C-alpha cells in the first residue's frame, strides 16, 4: 500500500529525506542515522559544518577501548582538563607538568631547568634518579651534593671522591 511518498514496505522518500522501513534507518541529505529508536550509529558522509558540543559536561566519550578512532587531524590547541597542548611542524608545547611514564623520546630540549623529583639513591650505574646508558657531556660546572663514585668500567662503585666538611678536605675511598 502506498500513500503519496509513503510505502509500508520501503518507507518514506521525499527529496533528500528518506526513512527506510526495512532497516529502520533515516537519511537526511548526507547524514544517516541507523537504529532510529536508539540512534546507536550516526554516519556523516559529508562535512560537519558546526561545533560538536555534548549536552552534558564531562559525560560523553569519543571512541572507547574496543572502537578507537585511527587518526585525528587538528589545527589549534588541545585542552585536556585545563592543560593545553599546542603543536606546529617542529615543536609541541605543554602547559603545566608533563608526566611521560615509560615514554621514549629521540630528543628533548629544555630551555630552563630539568628537575627530577625522585629521591632514589644511586648505588650503581643502573640505579638512581637519573640513569643513562650513554655518556654525559657537561659544557659548564658540575655541582655534586654527595660523593663522586667511580666504577672502573663496571656497574658498581670501586671507589669514591667525597668532600669532608669537618676537615675541609677531599677524601678518596677505595672499596
Q: Which residue has the cell 526495512?
A: 22
Q: In this predicted structure, what is the pLDDT of residue 96?
A: 77
Which residue segment(s) compose the domain that 24 sits in? 1-70
For the full predicted model, state whether its pTM sits above 0.75: no
Model pLDDT for residues 73-102, shown as the tens digit of each residue:
888 888 888 888 888 888 878 877 777 888
Helix (H/G/I), strand (E/B), else coil: 43: strand
Average pLDDT, the chain: 81
The reply to whether 6 falls in a domain is yes
Q: How many domains does the chain have?
A: 1
175, 172, 130: which is closest to 157 by C-alpha? 175
Convert 21-45 to b/e letters by CB count within 10 Å (16 or more is b): eeeebbbeeeebbbeeeeeeeeeee
Amino acid at each position: 500500500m502506498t500513500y503519496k511518498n509513503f510505502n509500508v514496505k520501503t518507507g518514506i522518500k521525499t527529496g533528500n529525506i528518506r526513512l527506510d522501513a526495512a532497516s529502520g534507518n533515516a537519511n537526511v541529505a548526507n547524514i544517516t542515522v541507523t537504529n532510529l529508536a536508539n540512534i546507536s550509529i550516526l554516519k556523516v558522509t559529508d562535512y560537519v559544518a558546526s561545533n560538536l558540543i555534548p549536552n552534558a559536561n564531562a559525560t560523553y566519550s569519543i571512541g572507547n577501548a574496543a572502537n578507537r578512532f585511527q587518526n585525528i587531524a587538528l589545527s589549534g590547541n588541545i585542552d585536556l582538563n585545563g592543560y593545553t597542548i599546542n603543536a606546529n611542524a617542529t615543536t609541541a608545547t605543554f602547559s603545566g607538568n608533563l608526566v611521560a611514564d615509560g615514554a621514549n623520546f629521540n630528543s628533548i630540549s629544555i630551555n630552563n631547568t630539568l628537575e627530577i623529583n625522585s629521591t632514589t639513591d644511586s648505588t650503581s650505574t643502573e640505579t638512581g634518579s637519573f640513569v643513562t646508558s650513554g655518556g654525559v657531556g657537561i659544557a659548564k660546572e658540575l655541582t655534586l651534593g654527595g660523593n663522586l663514585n667511580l666504577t672502573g668500567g663496571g656497574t658498581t662503585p670501586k671507589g669514591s671522591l667525597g668532600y669532608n666538611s669537618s676537615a675541609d678536605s677531599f677524601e678518596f675511598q677505595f672499596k
